[in-house]
Amino acid sequence: MANPFVSVINLGCRVNRVESDRMERELARAGLALVDPDDAELIVINTCAVTGEAEAKTRKAVRHALGRARHPFVLATGCAAALHPESLCEISDRVLVEPSKVDVARRALQALGYEARSTQRASALDAPVGEQPLRRARAGVKIQDGCNNRCTYCIVWKARGPERSVPVAAVLDEVRAVCAEGLPEVVLTGVNLGAYDGADERDAHVEIDELIERILRDTPIPQVRLSSIEPMDVTDRLIERVAASDGRVAPFFHLPVQSGCTRTLERMGRPYTAEEFEALCGRIRAALPSASLSCDLIVGFPGETDEDFEASLALCERVGFSRMHVFRYSARPGTPAAAMPDQVPPEVMAERSHRARELAARLARADAARRRGTRERAVIEEGARGTLASFHRVEVDGLEEAGVSAPALVEVAIMEVSASGLVRARLVPDATVPFSCKGA
């Protein structure tokens, strides 16, 4: 009997991307064939609910999937499926909802009328990554899920549940599996990454800085990167660990500031002031002069005045972010912010978003330009293109002549930056990055 054809579509955050990769592995283990969406009998959609726009994109993706060539079943999972399953089921009788990502493979087989070839169930936190398809030069390793914060605008904690962490041994096994595939970088991900509190072999609790030390000591992974981490969780110990890693931890911090105005941060329920955030950025720059800082920024939060918005822009300018993810405030039913007075009109939010994105583009080019004449590590992902340790996109000359092909970690000399922000660099001859996963 032919294997049933399935496809996985990912929406949303980096954590979703890692979870979608895991779903693909579990579907393959269960005997299903992974194909393009047009060929699929069933399409899994890992949904997002972080904003109203994200939920609208989820419904659009479901309707689009239903219209694919083979009129497939659509199996929705993820945050939108956990929060509002009924709104997805109402779209069509071919839509199924499975809030538990652990049970996606079982539910898919059930929908298609097949029995799993393997009945072994893997924890959504503990499943290994050794069978991950080699589609990228880096692999996400999920070390944490859930969030205990209660930011007034956020609905994700309701979908994700309370914080929990992957045990240290399981994280190390995942990183070693990535190494065995020859990938040069792992990206540590979590819904609230800095809240990592995993147990080690002695059942002692290990925080994020200690986990990084264990990864560097006990695995040969060439480069570790942190995904988004909350400002209040960036300790001096963590900064020191990154600075002492001799480049094995990418000098890159994505810090969701959300606002550069203390008054707005208070209404958001964020446990720091704008001044404290800026001081944190200063400590990172002092310890890591080459560090790249990026952020999330919400514009148009209820009660945000023109002066508050200008304070946000001014803080971003002073910090000099290399990348800014700008979001218009989205009222999520059931959150305190949705019931706040002084909701900002859509046209004002649109204008503020436009200005913030213009600033983001200018700051990104400026941060890339300041790197001219310096050396930096780069992960080569496809052809001559890749990503610098600072997370700027780069095109590298000299790879083919040196016999270097993706995936690879190399040292490059930065030459110039295009108007679009793409960095041009050349391979540094005879500069060997002193780590290798080959044969790990």
C-alpha pair distances (Å), 355 with each of 190, 260, 324? 30, 15, 12
* Residues whose CB falls within 8 Å of the CB of residue 223, separated by 6 or more in sequence, listed in order: 184, 185, 186, 247, 248, 249, 250, 377, 379, 389, 409, 435
pTM: 0.86
Closest CA to 163 of 147, 151, 139, 187: 147
Q: Does the domain made of 136-250 have the CATH classification 3.30.750.210?
A: yes
On whether the CB atoms of residues 374 and 414 are closer than 8 A, the answer is: yes
Give the number of residues written for the chain: 440
- Going by C-alpha positions, the residue among 293, 325, 271, 262 that lies closest to residue 390 is 293
Task: Determine the pLDDT at residue 129.
Answer: 39
DSSP string, 141-205: EEEEE------TT--HHHHH-S-EE--HHHHHHHHHHHHHTT-SEEEEEETTGGG--EE-TTS-E
CATH of span 375-427: 2.40.50
- Please tell me the distance from the alpha carbon of residue 145 to that of residue 162, in angstroms, as a whole number: 8
> What are the pLDDT tens digits along the chain (440 aa)?
467 899 999 998 889 999 999 899 899 988 899 999 999 999 999 999 888 889 999 999 999 999 998 999 999 999 999 999 999 999 999 999 998 888 999 999 999 888 655 434 333 343 333 333 435 788 999 999 999 999 999 998 888 999 999 999 999 999 999 999 899 999 999 999 999 999 998 888 999 999 999 999 999 999 999 999 999 999 999 999 999 999 999 999 999 999 999 999 999 999 999 999 999 999 999 999 999 999 999 999 999 999 999 999 999 999 999 999 999 999 999 899 999 999 999 999 999 999 999 999 999 999 999 999 999 999 999 999 999 999 999 999 999 999 999 999 999 999 999 988 899 999 998 765 645 555 44
Closest CA to 414 of 427, 403, 430, 399: 427
- Residue 161 and residue 144: Cα distance in Å, rounded? 12
Q: Which pLDDT score, from 0 to 100, does residue 95 have?
A: 96
What is the dihedral angle through the alpha carbons of 211, 217, 222, 224, rounded to the nearest 10 degrees?
10
Q: Is the Cα torsion angle 391, 394, 399, 405 positive or negative in sign? A: positive
Query: Do 65 and 74 meet the contact criterion of CB atoms below 8 Å apart?
Result: yes
Which one is the CATH code of 5-112: 3.30.450.20, 3.40.50.12160, 3.50.50.60, 3.20.20.80? 3.40.50.12160
Would you list the domain boundaries of the chain?
5-112, 136-250, 263-370, 375-427
pLDDT of residue 433: 62
Phi, psi of 63 (to 5 degrees): -65, -40
Asked if the domains 5-112 and 136-250 are classified in one and the same CATH topology, the answer is no
Contact 328, 350 (CB under 8 A): yes
| Domain 263-370 CATH assignment equals 2.170.190.11 | no
